Amino acid sequence: MLRRSLVSFLLAAGVVLSAQGQPKIAQPTLTPQNSGTTSGLIAVSPVNPQVVWASGRNGTFTVTTDGGNTWKAGVVPGAELLQFRDVEGVSAKVAYLMSIGVSGLPTDFRIYKTTDGGATWSLQFVNQLPGAFYDCFAFWTPKRGIAHSDSVNGVFPDLRTTDGTTWQSISSNMPPALPGEASFAASGTCVATQGGQNAWIATGGTTIARVLATRDGGDTWNAYDTPLISSLSAGAFTIAFRNPWHGIVGGGDLDPSDPNNARTATSSDGGVTWTLTNPPPVTGAIFGLAYAHGVGNGDGSRTVVVTANAGGAAWTPDEGTTWYSLPGVMGFWSVAFASPKAGWLVGTNGRILKVSF
């Protein structure tokens, strides 16, 4: 009876049993989808299992309202030379985009918003500060969010919106930056929000990879060290929290001569202290990671997927103790989940994979 109950539990949890009755972890299903564009995709934001937004190079965005069966791509007028390194989907009609540029002009860093499904876009923010480099943004609610930049003269010129329309500087709220401290615009996940007030920012580019954390919606911040490698080309790239206390951060080194420092670390105290996990089976730097909340039964929210561009992709059912490669998954920048059966990887040449556990 006990064994039958255990078997029933494992099957319900999505664990496949071998012929000998031993647990064998089932790999997720990966389904290619047609994004409607060949421009490289850099960020992805599921609103729910049906509505998903993605963004990338050449001023491109793409959106689906049917779970990815069909995608509709477009280009924001006036942003054809920009790269949308982050996207925040709110609904089928409402989304935000954050851009960087290739011209080196401060004004290439912008924030746009649509309220009509991408038919038109309003320009909400245009950077004027030389040296600023906005990497990522994240939202607590459809109208409350923060945007994060590399440091300028020892200060993070970060922004906050409380009305979904205007953006104000919160640079005076931020902790002092280390010399050269910066983040990486790799997947739009260098900042994570949780609940109504919590946020965490992953940094690098200097001697220490840190996490900046707030518990009050960005009014005050603290900075905490992580054990990830950090240098001009290395640091913490991506961060996620599954509740106010438990989170994971990933990073590595962009230097191709030093590819073996892709690492993740976990925290159980809200980001104050971090412990390295077992190394994931990827190389280079981890560009993006995401929790697949609720996989199976029990503590399924500990399942995490990471992607490392040319260095591959992998997943862990236990927050980094054991890892499984995603065979052949290369060149993907970002990953996010609406549910265990509705996750998306986006990457080079407009490629999209739906991930289902």
In the chain, where the domains are located: 30-356
Tens of pLDDT along the chain (357 residues)? 333 332 332 333 334 433 343 346 789 999 999 999 999 999 999 999 999 999 999 999 999 999 999 999 999 999 999 999 999 999 999 999 999 998 889 999 999 999 999 999 999 999 999 999 999 999 999 999 999 999 999 999 999 999 999 999 999 999 999 999 999 999 999 999 999 999 999 999 999 999 999 999 999 999 999 999 999 999 999 999 999 999 999 999 999 999 999 999 999 999 999 999 999 999 999 999 999 988 865 556 799 999 999 999 999 999 999 999 999 999 999 999 999 999 999 999 999 999 999
Distance, CA of 303 to CA of 104 (rounded, Å): 39
Taking alpha carbons only, the member of 226, 318, 231 closest to residue 280 is 318
> What pLDDT is stored for residue 102 in this prediction?
82
> What pLDDT is stored for residue 298 in this prediction?
56
Distance, CA of 334 to CA of 347 (rounded, Å): 7
> What pLDDT is stored for residue 26 in this prediction?
81
CB 148 within 8 A of CB 201: yes
> What pLDDT is stored for residue 95 in this prediction?
99
Neighbours of 189 (CB within 10 A): 28
Taking alpha carbons only, the member of 281, 292, 303, 289 closest to residue 333 is 289
Taking alpha carbons only, the member of 357, 354, 356 closest to residue 69 is 354
Sheet order of strands, 275-276 included: 234-241, 247-253, 263-267, 275-276
30-356 CATH = 2.130.10.10
> What pLDDT is stored for residue 301 in this prediction?
77
What burial letters (b/e) apply to 222-242, b meaning 16+ CB within 10 Å?
ebbebebbbbebbbbbbbbbb
> What pLDDT is stored for residue 24 in this prediction?
62
CB 177 within 8 A of CB 229: no
| H or E stretch at 337 | strand 332-339
> What pLDDT is stored for residue 19 in this prediction?
39
> What pLDDT is stored for residue 333 in this prediction?
98
Phi, psi (deg, nearest 5) at residue 80: -60, -25
Taking alpha carbons only, the member of 76, 42, 81 closest to residue 60 is 76
